[in-house]
Chain A
Amino acid sequence: MLAFILRRLMQSVAVLLAVGLVSFSLFRYVGDPINAMVGQDTPAVEREALRVKLGLNDPAPIQFVRFIANAAHGQFGLSYRTAEPVSRMILERLPATLELSFCAALFALLVGIPMGVYTGLYPRHWTSRLLQAVSLIGVSLPTFLIGILLILFFSVILRWLPSFGRGETVTIGWWTTNFLRWKGLEALILPSITLGLFQLTLLMRLVRSEMLEVMRTDYIKFARARGLTNRAINFGHALKNTLVPVITVTGLQLGSLIAFAIVTETVFAWPGVGQLFIQSVQFSDIPVMAAYLMLIGLFFVIINLVVDLLYFVVDPRLRGQMGRRAGAH
């Protein structure tokens, strides 16, 4: 178990280094960092001096090590666009994105899994067919369109909910939260639904198909032959066996929620890191892009570790053998 975790940690570090390499290459070779820092008419000598000072003339491996060391300290340099420290820009906006992603994930899990279980257990029931049809529409609607339609109905026509911004927030230390004010919570509703809807339909369809598959297995048939109650079979035996793939996908989806927040934040003018990223793509603000990439990589690695640990809790077959990861792709 310990060996397994250590190995996974090593792999995580490797993935982070790989992402770091991409970030570094972006940072170093796309555009010239010096141009962004100095004026057009700065003489070449001064530029060269700045290069030496910033270590841009050092061999690439040394620069990479320095980049990684700085990244580990949260230092990503200055934004080309605003000349602010990138880390401060990200930190300011991170709470907004995390709170939004958290609410969206909660919405997707709490609604998606029960719907999947229901449609998996009663695939022929008309409500299941209806949910299945609606879910297909959910998968086919791009996130931004869902957001626009929600705004059209609930903000423009009905005027029930706000259509942009975080509403009222409370600042605790460096963290700003939506959760402590009614206006803040209100502002979370539409963006969370928008962001979570796709994951919800995905989860529902996944749980459904896993349920259907598990219900066909021999051990479920044997459980029936032993006369177990439907309750024990459906929730004790079937649901638990669907958990491994569900955990995998949920983990991956949580990671992508933070990235998908880019779209939702744009639609709802939500001041999160996603919006920051889009602005930096438009302005080719490389340091911000590089930092964002590292951030997403970090989230992904953390989530994957948690997912791996959850496998151990769920599947006894994994406890025996070190490191083999069943259920993942």
Chain B
Amino acid sequence: MAASGKSALNKAPLLEVKNLRVEFPTRRGTLLAVDDVSFEIAAGEVLGVVGESGAGKSLTGNAIIGLLEPPGRVAGGEIRLEGRRIDNLPYEEMRKVRGAQIGAIFQDPLTSLNPLYSVGRQLIETIQTHLPLSAGQARQRAIDLLKEVGIPGAEQRIDHYPHQFSGGMRQRVVIALALCAGPKLIVADEPTTALDVSIQAQVIALLKRLCREHGTAVMLVTHDMGVIAETADRVAVMYAGRVAEIGPVRDVIKQARHPYTEGLMGSIPSLGHRSERLAQIDGAMPRLTEIPRGCAFNPRCGHRGQRCLVERPDLMPAGSSRAACWLHDPRGVGAAAVGELADA
């Protein structure tokens, strides 16, 4: 139901990330946590970003909203919102973009809200920061938003404090806060990870419905392939700071082009194949300090060839997707080199 066939390609991109690099200077040298990441998000589109922890997906999200935690910094590339470059804006300019044009949802609703202020105060404060509304109008809008995210008795609940809400309800409040000023894009970083499984589906459904109604695009960062399959139009698979594969969600799930994605898909349990053991990828993602030469995935890859040990593959067309794997080298050279060592 997710990839409803409507192509994102015929719309101008809302968000354009080009060759993004995020660095962390440490005493053991500079770590390249996000390495040459490029993707686009069209207006109203849901892009899933999936990968193991440490793959750089959250950092990419933080870089987009301009809130990388120091000493992390954008070291290269561009981020454009509706054609306007936003990665090099002064703090005050970027502040006006945040909340107004790009909303954000973080992982833990229990800690995302200031415990000392009522949810109403936090909503009204955000609304009045971005929209020219009177206190009364802002309060009305806050109540409407709470109703929209499905908080029963919004008129009374608006004056309650965060600790008086359950986890799922708090995440609804957080979604309302992200939608306050009608942003065009929401960066949702693991929005359901901290929630009960039974509530996860509700929150995801809510997010999806609201964004469709408001025409808001979403960058949905998660490690949960199930959530992506259900929600996203397209998916970007990240591995060790790079995009391994990107494409329409249905194609990526059905026919993964990158060996890593293949392994990832194999680890999703599916109904009907109960007896089968879930496939798993041997080994673990390398630490940022120990990324091997060539393709970062090569130590764990079943199709590894000589070339994979030496040369780093960029994204190349593979069916309707694009994958960073020499198996899809348009010149066919990579494929040839691969065979030799496949069983070694």
Interface positions of A (Cβ within 8 A of B): 217-219, 221-230, 232, 236-237, 240-241, 314-317, 320
Contacts and interface: CB of A to CB of B under 8 A. Distances in A.
A320 B162 CA distance: 12
24 contacts: A218-B108, A218-B112, A219-B114, A221-B106, A222-B104, A222-B113, A222-B174, A225-B103, A225-B104, A226-B98, A226-B104, A226-B177, A226-B178, A226-B180, A227-B95, A228-B99, A228-B125, A229-B129, A232-B129, A241-B116, A316-B116, A316-B161, A316-B163, A317-B163
B283 to A, nearest CB: 32
B99 A226 contact: yes
Nearest to A315: B116
Contact of B98 (A224, A316, A317): A224
B137 interface: no
B193 interface: no
Contact of A217 (B95, B103, B111, B181): B111
B98 A227 contact: yes
A320 B163 contact: yes
Interface string B82-122: 00000000000001111110011010100111111110000
Interface of B: 65, 67, 95-100, 103-104, 106, 108, 111-118, 125-126, 129-130, 161, 163-164, 174, 177-178, 180-181
Contacts of A240: 116
B108 A316 contact: no
A102 to B, nearest CB: 29
Contacts of A218: 106, 108, 111-112
A225 B118 contact: no
A320 B67 CA distance: 34
A217 B180 CA distance: 21
A232 B112 contact: no
B161 A317 contact: yes
B116 A229 contact: no
B169 to A, nearest CB: 16
Nearest to B70: A124
A224 B116 contact: no
A98 B94 CA distance: 51
A186 B98 CA distance: 53
Given A316-B118, A316-B161, A316-B163, A224 B67 contact: yes
A222 B115 contact: no
Nearest to A240: B116
Contacts of A229: 95, 129
Closest 5 CB pairs of A and B: A227-B99, A225-B104, A227-B98, A218-B111, A316-B161
Nearest to B95: A227
Contacts of A241: 114-116
Contacts of B163: 316-317, 320
Contacts of A237: 114, 117
B97 A227 contact: yes
B185 to A, nearest CB: 12
A120 to B, nearest CB: 15
Nearest to A219: B114
Nearest to B126: A226
B96 A225 contact: no
Contact of A226 (B115, B118, B129, B164): B129
Contacts of B116: 240-241, 314-316
Nearest to B114: A219
Given A223-B114, A237-B117, A320-B164, 10 more contacts: A218-B111, A219-B114, A222-B113, A224-B95, A225-B178, A226-B177, A230-B95, A241-B116, A315-B116, A317-B161
Contact of A225 (B65, B114, B115, B125): B65
Nearest to A241: B116
A92 B103 CA distance: 65
B112 A222 contact: yes
Nearest to B180: A226
A315 B115 CA distance: 8
Contacts of B178: 225-226
A241 B177 CA distance: 20
Nearest to A314: B116
Contact of B112 (A219, A314, A317, A320): A219
A236 B177 CA distance: 17
A227 B112 contact: no
A223 B115 CA distance: 12
A224 B130 CA distance: 13
